Copies of this chain bind each other. A is one copy, B any other.
Amino acid sequence: MVIATSSDSQHKSCPHNPEISCGNCRLGAICLPLTLEDEEIVKLDEIVRRGRPLQKGEHMYRTGDDFTAVYAVRSGAIKAYRITGDGEEQVTGFYFPGEIIGMDGISKNKYASSAKALETSAICEIPFSRFEELSRQVPTVQRHFFQLMSQEITSDQQLITLLSKNTADERVASLLVSISARNARRNLSDSNFRLPMSRADIGNFLGLTVETVSRVMSRFSKQKLISINNKDVMLLDINRLKEIASITD
């Protein structure tokens, strides 16, 4: 093995490593391959394209771009957003490793939203026409993709409920608990993590201003529910947070 001279010599263990397949990706258990047999994963692998990682701020796609593919996040974090009639941004979701994004493009064959990287992120591109074909051949793939889209619908509906009924405290607690749960799914700490998005993005997503988000988090901190150091968060009392978020399912 050649000793690398540049600083990216640690590349092989880097989570953005492109030399990976669905078969050996440690996200297999939560990503698209979830229910697949080995030979089906091979077929999926033939379709999936892995490009260079996106840098922070780079777009995967923008509103109005021709829809060609859905994307699986392999590392990093992505935010999806739309632009309102009067030019404002509305964040519609945050996507973490193992999650699929871009399904809103199917209906009109153009993306209805934009997606950009919140930090350096590796992405698996899944060209849709080839994937559609695979779906027809492999019932479990079709079923699983129906389920993924359905999941997107139910999570959007949860957000609708949140925006319609909940207070600022409840909204912020919900987001923290949600991120915690999604970390747990990836076998990461459910109580100690870094928020990849800005306070502005959080506020935008939750239908609150930056100031309100900041105040709520400060208050949670004073109440010893969380401990914050800029973007690093520690959940000190997850159960209480869940209560505040009034998580039922």
- Answer yes or no: A248 CB below 8 A from chain B CBs: yes
Is the pair B142, A107 in contact by a Cβ cutoff of 8 Å? no
Question: Considering the complex, which residues of chain A in the window 196-234 have a beta carbon less than 8 Å from any beta carbon of chain B?
Answer: 204, 207
Quick one: closest B residue to A80, CB to CB? B157
Cβ contact within 8 Å between A85 and B246? yes
Complex Cα distance, B87 from A246, in Å, reads 11
B88 touching A160, Cβ below 8 Å: no
Contact check: which of B105, B151, B153, B247 meets A156 at CB < 8 Å? B153
Knowing A136-B136, A159-B160, A161-B90, say if A106 contacts B142 (CB, 8 Å): no
- Closest CB in chain B relative to A84 CB, distance in Å: 6
**Chain A interfacial residues counted at CB < 8 A:** 44
Q: Is A165 an interface residue (CB 8 A)?
A: yes
A79: min CB distance to chain B, Å: 13
If A84-B165, A85-B246, A165-B84 touch, whether A156 touches B146 (CB-CB below 8 Å) is: no
Inter-chain contact A150/B149, CB cutoff 8 Å: yes
| Chain A contact residues, majority secondary structure | helix
Interface residue A152 (Cβ < 8 Å from any Cβ of B): yes
Contact with B along A80-109 (1 / 0, CB 8 A): 001011101010100000000001111110
A49 at the interface (CB under 8 A from B): no
> How many chain copies?
2
Question: Is A113 close to B, CB under 8 A?
Answer: yes
Please indicate the chain B residues that have their CB under 8 angstroms from the CB of A103 in the complex.
149-150, 153
Contacts of A142 in B (CB 8 A): 132, 135-136, 142
A239 at the interface (CB under 8 A from B): no
Instruction: List B contacts of A194 (CB < 8 A).
Output: none
Q: At the interface, yes or no: A163 with Cβ under 8 Å from chain B? A: yes
Question: Would A157 and B104 count as touching, CB distance under 8 A?
Answer: yes
Chain B residues within 8 Å of A85, by CB? 246-248
* Smallest CB separation, A238 vs chain B (Å): 16
CB pairs A–B below 8 angstroms (22 shown)? A84-B165, A85-B247, A88-B165, A90-B164, A104-B153, A105-B150, A107-B147, A107-B148, A107-B151, A107-B154, A112-B154, A132-B143, A142-B142, A145-B146, A149-B149, A149-B150, A152-B153, A153-B156, A160-B160, A163-B163, A163-B164, A165-B207
Q: Which residues of A contact B (CB under 8 A)?
A: 82, 84-86, 88, 90, 92, 103-108, 112-113, 132, 135-136, 139, 142-143, 145-154, 156-157, 159-161, 163-165, 204, 207, 246-248
